[in-house]
Structure 1
Amino acid sequence: MEIYVLSIIVATVLVAPLALRTFRPLLWADVRYCRDLLRIALTVVARRWRTPPFFALDRFLEQTAANPDKVFVVFENERYSYRDADRRSNRTANALRSQPGYQAGDTVALLMGNEPAFVFTWLALAKLGSPVALLNHNIRTKSLLHCFSCCRAKVLLAASELKEVVEDVLPSLMEQGVTVLLMSHLCKTPGMESFSDKVEEASDCPLPRNLRSHVTFKSPAVYIYTSGTTGLPKAAVVNQNRLLTALAVLSSNGVTASDVIYVNLPLYHTAGFIVGFIGSFETGSTIVLKRKFSASQFWDDCRKNSVTVVQYIGEVMRYLCSTPKRENDQDHKVRLAIGNGVRAEIWREFLNRFGNIEVREFYASTEGNVGFVNYAGKIGAIGRVHFLHRRDEPIRGANGFCVETPRGETGLLVSKITDIAPFVGYAQSEEQNERKRLHNVLKKGDLYFNSGDLMRIDNDNFLYFQDRVGDTFRWKGENVATTEVSDILTVSDCLKEANVYGVKVPGHEGRIGMAAVAVKEGEQFDGSEIYKNVVSHLPSYARPRFIRIQNAMELTGTFKQMKLKLVEQGFDPARVRDLLYVLDDHEKSYVPMTAQIYGCIVSGNLKL
């Protein structure tokens, strides 16, 4: 009998792993992922109970105390240790405290590209208990003023190379009584003060903790701007609690203190700031900061700095795969790539060309309350749904409640708003906040967050991004608000109306901007004037590349502009009978689209 029982036990031990691999191949991946989530949750809860309150900044200070000489930031030929960053941020904070027009706790807007000063300045403001509005340095005039105003900042800190951008809006800022500081040693512009000279003269003594004693977990930490259906960027509020939770992004993906992280995405975006910069606080890693993404320099930078972890958006991988092949393509130390938005075919090409790199695709939004991680490595998926997630789509049934989308079909991703998964929303935009809320989804009185993203779930519970809903499209990793572009186009004297949308381009991720426009009666289409307006007021990724002339805009029964047919027809002159124009930077104008130009674009010979 004992031998029989022993045989059963041995057989079970030997057969069970084989059976699990056959019938539940993802079980152990699920278990490991849930274990990591539990560890993160326990860490966050433990920190929330600490006295005084523990925030993301405190984790940086812990790393500085434990490893002061560890290299924290590498930028071009400069290297800064954790101690260097701590002391330089102290100088910045002390210089700001002595600046008239600023008090500790005031909101400060930061208009700066990827450089060490960005890192030091944010740390300084965190030490002063000041929320920071991370302004996109590509935006101009109207959009810039809007972004500044909606966070009610008292101070604008700008990089020296953006002086002219600030001067364009300086009169409006002066009317609002805003203190404008330029990161330079000299500034002769009235209403704008130099600040770098004051930082160098300031003390590097630590800041008293009581300067941030007013900060709570619900206090705004940063405002990160996201495009939306209103046409102007919205300031998503990232509070201290969310930033504390976000510390775990890198560590939960296996990043450790020995890793070197390549941060080439903008620090004013969620990916660069929260994942790359803030995530390094938790792990104590080194970050290699790149001023701007460069496909041709990417792998050389990785080799030079012994980079082990890289960030990406879908376009980054496509750009890398589009560079000329080299014999040393797999000669690097990169082991992990973290990001989102990569197509399955690009994912495969990236791995085949650049070697055995673990790709961790994830889904999240700046303002959202739900996220997914493709911890199983399924190519093409953005994550995996398990018992910790619920998925519901707001298609109403006869009872008025939402109907769940069947597996394999596309539905709208929504997520229940709870104390654990709150929706903080946008600053000064209650109307937009309400648009993101869905009431009475599964039962009367419940409340859900509307992601605006269409998803599909397969039979193995893998989740796939399908498309976005609403008047936005994505190009070169940026969200483009169609209403904002329409407003800029119709500033031109010759245009009466503009209908902006995104169209697919072969070989490119996302959709590029196109506009169907109606010319005012008695006017002629002026490509030079329109070019001047879009270049002056829109970042490059938001400028409509193609313009289609129509006699009148097609409208729906509720007087909304028709887009679907226009999107389907695209910019092919063989399919579109209306006059077509294409943006030409060399001519500084919109010029007539020809079959030859169209062929060059489709073949990839003309860079967009």
Structure 2
Amino acid sequence: DGGSWWRRSGFGQSLLPDGSGVRPTMLLAALGSAAAGLVALLFLQRLLRPFFWDDVRYYRRLRTAGRAIRSRMKTGVITFVDRFVEQARRSPDKPFIIHEGQVLTYRGADERSNRVAQTLRSRSGLSRGDTAALLMSNEPDVVCVWFGLCKLGCQVAFFNSNTRARALLHCLRSCGARALVVGAVHLLEEVLLSPQEDRMELWVVDTSTSLKGVNALLEKLDSVSVEPLPMHESSSVNILSNFLFIFTSGTTGLPKAARISHLKGVMSMCFLRMCGATENDRVYITLPLYHMSASLLGIGGCIELGATCILKKKFSASQFWKDCEKYNVTVFQYIGELCRYLVSQPEVPKESSHSVRLAVGSGLRPDVWRDFKKRFKKIQICESYGLTEVNIGFLNYTGKIGPIGRASYFNKLSVPFELLKYNPLTYEPIRTDSGRCVKVSKGETGILIAPVSAANPFLGYAGNTSMSEKKLLRDVFQEGDLYFNTGDLMLQDHQDFLYFRDRIGDTFRWKGENVATTEVSEVLGSVDFLQDVNVYGVTIPGYEGRAGMAAIVLRSDQMLDGKKLYSQLEQHLPAYSWPWFLRVQTSLRMTETFRQQKMKLVEEGFCPTVVRDPLYFLDATEKDYVPLTKTMYDRIVSGKIRL
């Protein structure tokens, strides 16, 4: 019977000091009380720490990814390319890259990159440790040439395919490139017309070329061996040594060559897995491969998973959903501007018949996020934040609209950082009388900094020691400590969500690209009728980032020649960095330290009723700057005139 079961089990034995027994009903009552307490505890947890278990699960994924990397390294799989070769052996016949109907398997990409390495070893002067630059648009051979150069032992520099004239030569010299590989002959024109201080090998990814001094990479590619080079020994690679150069815009006016370590490369490969992607996914990449997002996070993420990449040469809003259905896309990478384009497109049947379940990226504005989620209900958004220079990054794995990530206790164990109080006029961190910096409180905006360490190295910018040093903060909280200053303003709320607020310095972001205001100023400053130029970014309702605007001062007795100005921009700068608005002033506002004053100009924007100076708007159809009227302003703000 029940009573004898309790006695035999031992639960009915005396538990009290006086020897009295405990009835089953008493034990049940105790268990009920414990259960009620547990329910109450869970209720409090949900009330006070609603994202606790989300944080724990994400932290466990981080730890698991770290253990997997360390385990592979013990077997000799150390670098980004080592991981690719491993996947090629594991899944040789699986599609790796699909591009405009062309299918390249993992084995096919491995063998083609071996052919590239064999060809360059026999026909070029490149050797281990040299730097080779890539100037190519999105195509499978970008990856094959990249990996082939790595197998040769070279460091690879990714060049923005929009880079022009002086900036291109600056990039070549700053990273010390011994060779330049381009995807099309016309990209070499400006290099060939410029004086070469140092002998540089020039290669075009083609079967032949008539240009003197230019080599055709594909000329003998099919006749060389598919076997890997014997000199490729990954065990000799230092994980903290340089892997890539990726160029970023900055206050120097010209792109900076950020050094990317092998450690940064292999850590970046975990991004898609952390977002929830799997080996069965087909990842649609329309972002340019010269950026870290597409190359390290996108291509690298596919390699880490063993997934398939659907590579698009260029993003097209009208073709997007057609491609997603055609190629059975399940995951796509975005920047905020890309999602805004999709939301602003007319509804089409294919936007609901696709298989996309996950969108991963960064820079998604909350209002666009809400519209995107409302319209494309079955797609989960994974918003993130990351930097090219160091290993700091955040991921919003909760689905909450707005934040770029979490700053929970668990996450800060893996990604330590701090937010500092700053001077709103100089954007410099505030220091106490003792010389130490001050942390902001929750709910207060501060400058994001990250400690520099073996796990988070900062290798600096090639050929720019002074700019490298400017990114570092020393003796921040105690003597001898060292932090990387991101230059980004962040806010941590009381639920430990992180929000991106702004980017300080002489840059702004437009069309998914960082624009260096000083580079634009230098191009405008070379126009003969302009005396002074001050370039900055202004916000426009319905647009991501800031559109370019320039306050200009005309030379004495000179008139504004909009067509000539347009021609200058078209010749020397990519379209995303052109100023959309001009403000003609009699003199530029300067700070007490004789720096150009931008804050007031940014605040006043381009509204004719606010700004008393003459305003002009870039009319792309006329290739001219035309007077900006109130009617035109209203049409721009309402979206009737698109930029």
TM-score with structure 2 setting the length:
0.91
Total equivalences in the alignment: 605
Contact 1:369 1:417 in 2 (8 A): no
Q: Which amino acid aligns with 2:53?
A: W
Q: SS state of the match for residue 553, structure 1? A: coil
* Alignment counterpart, residue 391 of structure 1, candidates 412, 418, 423: 418
1:454 deviates by: 0.6
| CA pair 199-83 structure 1, distance change in 2 beyond 3 A | same
Contact 1:224 1:270 in 2 (8 A): yes
Q: SS state of the match for residue 453, structure 1? A: strand
In the alignment, structure 1 residue 140 sits paired with structure 2 residue 175: no
In the alignment, structure 1 residue 55 sits paired with structure 2 residue 82: no
1:61-460 matches, cutoff 5 A: 61-160=85-184, 163-172=185-194, 174-210=196-232, 215-387=237-409, 388=412, 389-393=416-420, 394-460=429-495
Q: Which amino acid aligns with 2:338?
A: V
Contact 1:527 1:589 in 2 (8 A): yes
Structure 1: 5+ residue stretches without partners = none
1:328 deviates by: 4.1
Contact 1:495 1:517 in 2 (8 A): yes
1:581 deviates by: 1.9
1:213 deviates by: 6.4
Q: Which stretch of structure 1 is more off in the superposition, 454-463 or 588-597?
A: 588-597
* Alignment counterpart, residue 48 of structure 2, candidates 17, 23, 43: 23
CA distance in 1, matches of 2:310, 2:319: 13
1:486 deviates by: 0.3
Q: Which residue in 2 is equivalent to 1:545?
A: 580
CA distance in 1, matches of 2:592, 2:369: 42
CA distance in 2, matches of 1:58, 1:133: 19
In the alignment, structure 1 residue 34 sits paired with structure 2 residue 56: no
Deviations 1:40-87 (A, max 9, x none): 222233334444x62111111111111111011010111111111111
Structure 2: 5+ residue stretches without partners = 1-21, 421-428
Q: SS state of the match for residue 319, structure 2? A: helix
Deviations 1:404-425 (A, max 9, x none): 1121121111112122222222
In the alignment, structure 1 residue 514 sits paired with structure 2 residue 544: no
Contact 1:391 1:414 in 2 (8 A): yes
CA distance in 1, matches of 2:558, 2:575: 27
1:486-565 matches, cutoff 5 A: 486-565=521-600
Q: Which residue in 1 is equivalent to 2:636?
A: 601
Contact 1:224 1:268 in 2 (8 A): yes
Q: SS state of the match for residue 522, structure 1? A: coil
| CA pair 8-209 structure 1, distance change in 2 beyond 3 A | farther
Q: SS state of the match for residue 196, structure 1? A: coil
Contact 1:109 1:157 in 2 (8 A): yes
CA distance in 1, matches of 2:141, 2:59: 38
CA distance in 2, matches of 1:332, 1:92: 37
Q: Which amino acid aligns with 1:87?
A: E
Deviations 1:429-461 (A, max 9, x none): 111111111112111221111110011111101
Q: Which amino acid aligns with 1:308?
A: T
1:15 deviates by: 4.7
1:155 deviates by: 0.6
Contact 2:566 2:623 in 1 (8 A): yes
Q: SS state of the match for residue 438, structure 1? A: strand
Q: Which stretch of structure 1 is more off in the superposition, 321-330 or 143-152?
A: 321-330
1:286 deviates by: 0.1
Contact 2:114 2:226 in 1 (8 A): yes
CA distance in 1, matches of 2:169, 2:230: 33
Q: SS state of the match for residue 252, structure 1? A: helix
Deviations 1:117-169 (A, max 9, x none): 10111111121111110000001001111111111111100012xx2332112
Contact 1:127 1:212 in 2 (8 A): no
Deviations 1:63-119 (A, max 9, x none): 111111101101011111111111111121111112233234421100001001101
Contact 1:502 1:567 in 2 (8 A): yes
CA distance in 2, matches of 1:363, 1:465: 9
Contact 2:78 2:234 in 1 (8 A): no
1:264 deviates by: 0.6
CA distance in 1, matches of 2:278, 2:133: 32
1:365 deviates by: 0.9
CA distance in 2, matches of 1:83, 1:120: 11
Q: SS state of the match for residue 101, structure 1? A: coil
The runs of 4+ residues in structure 1 deviating greater than 4 Å are 12-16, 211-214
TM-score with structure 1 setting the length:
0.96
CA distance in 2, matches of 1:115, 1:22: 50
CA distance in 2, matches of 1:175, 1:422: 32
CA distance in 2, matches of 1:330, 1:560: 52
Q: SS state of the match for residue 138, structure 1? A: coil
CA distance in 2, matches of 1:580, 1:375: 44
Q: Which amino acid aligns with 1:128?
A: L
1:206 deviates by: 2.4
Q: Which residue in 1 is equivalent to 2:498?
A: 463
CA distance in 2, matches of 1:560, 1:330: 52
- Counting aligned pairs with the same residue, the percent is 45
Contact 1:129 1:214 in 2 (8 A): no
Q: Which amino acid aligns with 2:58?
A: Y
Q: SS state of the match for residue 190, structure 1? A: coil
